[in-house]
Structure 1
Amino acid sequence: MSLTLRFENAEVLKPEGWTTDSVGVADGVMNADADGRAVDLSGYRLLPGMIDLHGDGFERHVAPRRGAMLDPRGGIASVEAELASSGITTAYLAQFWSWEGGMRGPEFARKVFAAISDLKADFATDLRIQLRLETHLLSEFAAAEAELDAHDIDYLVFNDHLQHDRLADGRRPKQLNGQALKSGRSPERHLEYMQSLHALGPDVPAALDALAERLRARGVRLGSHDDSTRADRDQAKARGVIIAEFPETYEAAEAAKAMGDGVVMGAPNVMRGASHKGNVSAIDLVGAGLCDALASDYHYQSLGNAALKLINDGVCDWATGWALVSSGPARIMGLDDRGAIANGKRADLVVLDQNNRIAAALAGGQVSYMRGAVAERLFG
């Protein structure tokens, strides 16, 4: 149920900075004229709800053990609860469509997409899907497109996890045995499959060009993953790919920004102080103005914590740091109805307590999470 009320006496983070303006909520949007009950939030901060463009932490909910993935719906419900308690009001669940099989294979993806579609109307949090398509899986392109249409998926990211250098040299890929186990194939059969996909290399560019053109005509936003060079970005841009997700180098991020494309970095990278793979530091890119948005990647709670770390460490101010998890991702995805505290925007709000911990979250004017004294103030 969408609330009608007015939050008063909080520190409110608006696009122009901190204010103490009251914030009215009615019919799921922020409304300066909302005639609702006043809720005293003195001692608290009120900020825009967070938008997560890439989170795959849901995997541990829907498949806590290998093989335990018959029905992901129960897991999706627990995912939404974790997102809400993390202050995330819009979440893109990043699901592979890959030759890697298991939780990354098309069969599992179909189950996840169906579960999200079945359940999303029951949640306050706006659950969405990011489809991560492996570039060499040409035989599955048509099936992936059908899923986009069936589940209203508006974000697709191109991935290429084949170890081309090793395959070209006739060497065994790293972690082959572990990958084969997850895929349900023997190591020998998995290697043969990878080699067959690698051999499709000459056919991939034209197939991707045609697919990208069809997807853009549908209004699907396209992203690339793990760009490492300027040439990578040039190729992606020529294909209409306008989001650079987790670029591996300063060069690739700088090239994306110069092209006017959105750059998304991982919040866990910020929390660690560096990439776990030795790639460019997200903190350095934020400091250089080369990052538009942070994403939770594999850990939902890291999204808000990363913004706070950047602020507390003096890398950026509150407005800039929180924009990385609110207005920045909204702008990248063309979500003009959210991402800031402003009249007419969706009532996606986060309440922080005196220790900057999540005390409450509202998504579309509905309470998605609340605890402690804020609940007492709201409900009396």
Structure 2
Amino acid sequence: MRTKKICIYNAQIILPDKVVRGHILIEGHKISEVAENSFPSVKCYSDTTVIDAEGCYVMPGMIDLHSDAIEKEIQPRPNTLFPINMSFYELEKKLAVSGITTMYHSLSLSDEWGVRNTDMVINIINSINRLKQTRSMINHKIHLRYELTFLTGVSVLEGLVRDKRIDFMSYMDHTPGQGQFKDAEALKDFTIQSYGKNEREVEDSMDKIIENQARIDWLKLISLAKIAKSKGIRLASHDDDTRGKIDKLLAYEGTVSEFPINLETAVYARSKGIHVCVGAPNIIRGKSHSNNMKAIDAITNNAADIVCSDYLPSAMLPAVFHLTKEGINLTEAVKMVTLNPAKALGIDSEVGTVEVGKCADLIFVEMHQDYPILRKTLVGGNIVFQSDFQAFNTERVENIC
């Protein structure tokens, strides 16, 4: 059986430090050659797919380390649940079209309602791990978000970590009065709107959260973080609003601070070598939906180095090119959705750059009226999405030798 070969030429290739015009050769699932300012010689390649990328940037596929889009796909409205397999297959089409080639599906272990019910979360994890083995367009991984005040959930998390059924995890604390929801009323309104519960139910839940916060077993969390590290599972913290929380993350040997609430905390995290992740929707909208730190402020102050989709995968690619309008170099903006998350997650030896030996996860981007349009997505050398347009030419070359 012949190894599949692809030759991409006339490409504006986005490398970590520069943009070059050249060509890329792919053999099987890996990149075998990246050459600058040269036209490939394909005379020694038979049965090669040749792709003319004229007018397009070719960059690494994006890595999204935090997105609860799968939750939105399963439960688009309160008390309205759709089958997990349908949600998985429909969402991955949207991800491929958005240029996301590796998705860390964010699921919340928080003893809440609907899609965040513990039994439902376990079912989703098991389903994704099963479905990705049988048929998938992109790389699917699990990011489990553990709510620290869900005291009985720590044993559930430990079981998932020991069995390595998750790939990334984060500790989060949504106790009202701190973090994301300094205003308790804002948390109550958000919960009522999200889950369709009445005010009394939500208030009872919030009272339980406040009571449980004082009973968190911090030593157990440190121990669990060490077990996760031994399994190759990286750890993040969520909605940090003080230096003290970053110090806790360092004690856990965590690698990422997600959505810090203020610039001071973000700057401190980066000074300690922690990756800081901000949301693409925040970049596009120019503000946080919770009126916290503006993502662009963190980025322009060198206090954030990763961009995730948060809840809207389609915002990722536009956010990258929006950053260039804010004075961020294109290569640096691209690294925020490729190489930097790969490093934070420990997968940078496999993905994150256009480099020989790495997986051929690539996306083709055409700028149309100053807006990025995705034209093609490759995952492991397989074309999983393609949008035809006049300047885009794909031809099959058979038996050239």
TM-score above 0.5 = yes
User: How many residue pairs were aligned?
Assistant: 374
Q: Distance in 1 between matches of 2:365 and 2:194?
A: 40
SS of corresponding position for 2:154: helix
**2:387 matched to 1:371?**
yes
1:69-148 counterparts in 2 under 5 A? 69=81, 71-121=83-133, 122-148=135-161
- Asked whether the 8 Å contact 1:3–1:366 carries over to 2, the reply is no
- Asked whether the 8 Å contact 1:102–1:182 carries over to 2, the reply is no
Q: Distance in 2 between matches of 1:244 and 1:148?
A: 20
Task: Determine which structure has the larger strand proportion and give its number.
Answer: 2
- Asked whether the 8 Å contact 2:176–2:187 carries over to 1, the reply is no
1:1-380 counterparts in 2 under 5 A? 3-32=4-33, 35=45, 36-69=48-81, 71-121=83-133, 122-150=135-163, 152-163=165-176, 174=186, 176=188, 179=191, 187-188=199-200, 190-204=202-216, 205-311=218-324, 313-335=325-347, 336-355=349-368, 356-373=372-389, 377-378=394-395
SS of corresponding position for 2:33: coil
Query: 1:300-354: CA deviations, max 9, x gaps?
Result: 111111010011x142111111111111111111112111111101101010124
- Asked whether the 8 Å contact 2:362–2:379 carries over to 1, the reply is yes
When residues 178 and 326 of structure 1 are mapped into structure 2, their CA distance, relative to the original with a 3 A threshold, is: closer
Q: Distance in 2 between matches of 1:6 and 1:120?
A: 28
When residues 377 and 172 of structure 1 are mapped into structure 2, their CA distance, relative to the original with a 3 A threshold, is: closer
Identity of aligned residues (%): 26
- Residue 285 of structure 1 and its aligned partner are, at CA, apart by 1.4
- Residue 255 of structure 1 and its aligned partner are, at CA, apart by 1.0
When residues 345 and 235 of structure 1 are mapped into structure 2, their CA distance, relative to the original with a 3 A threshold, is: same
When residues 151 and 378 of structure 1 are mapped into structure 2, their CA distance, relative to the original with a 3 A threshold, is: farther
Question: Which moved further from structure 2: 261-270 or 177-186?
Answer: 177-186
What TM-score does the superposition give when structure 1 sets the normalisation length?
0.90
When residues 184 and 17 of structure 1 are mapped into structure 2, their CA distance, relative to the original with a 3 A threshold, is: closer
- Asked whether the 8 Å contact 2:161–2:228 carries over to 1, the reply is no
Query: 1:341-376: CA deviations, max 9, x gaps?
Result: 111011010101242310001111111211113875
Q: Structure 2: which amino acid aligns with 1:377?
A: T
SS of corresponding position for 2:358: coil
Q: Distance in 1 between matches of 2:95 and 2:118?
A: 25
Q: Distance in 2 between matches of 1:265 and 1:50?
A: 15
When residues 375 and 78 of structure 1 are mapped into structure 2, their CA distance, relative to the original with a 3 A threshold, is: farther
When residues 349 and 73 of structure 1 are mapped into structure 2, their CA distance, relative to the original with a 3 A threshold, is: same
When residues 70 and 300 of structure 1 are mapped into structure 2, their CA distance, relative to the original with a 3 A threshold, is: closer
Q: CA RMSD in A?
A: 2.6
When residues 215 and 64 of structure 1 are mapped into structure 2, their CA distance, relative to the original with a 3 A threshold, is: same
Q: Distance in 1 between matches of 2:154 and 2:232?
A: 17
Query: 1:247-270: CA deviations, max 9, x gaps?
Result: 111111111111111111001110
- Asked whether the 8 Å contact 1:2–1:366 carries over to 2, the reply is no
Question: Which moved further from structure 2: 25-34 or 339-348?
Answer: 25-34
When residues 319 and 174 of structure 1 are mapped into structure 2, their CA distance, relative to the original with a 3 A threshold, is: closer
SS of corresponding position for 2:69: coil
Q: Distance in 1 between matches of 2:326 and 2:204?
A: 51
SS of corresponding position for 2:384: strand
What TM-score does the superposition give when structure 2 sets the normalisation length?
0.86
Aligned to 1:168: none
- Asked whether the 8 Å contact 1:223–1:242 carries over to 2, the reply is yes
Q: Structure 1: which amino acid aligns with 2:275?
A: G
- Residue 162 of structure 1 and its aligned partner are, at CA, apart by 2.2
- Residue 274 of structure 1 and its aligned partner are, at CA, apart by 1.7
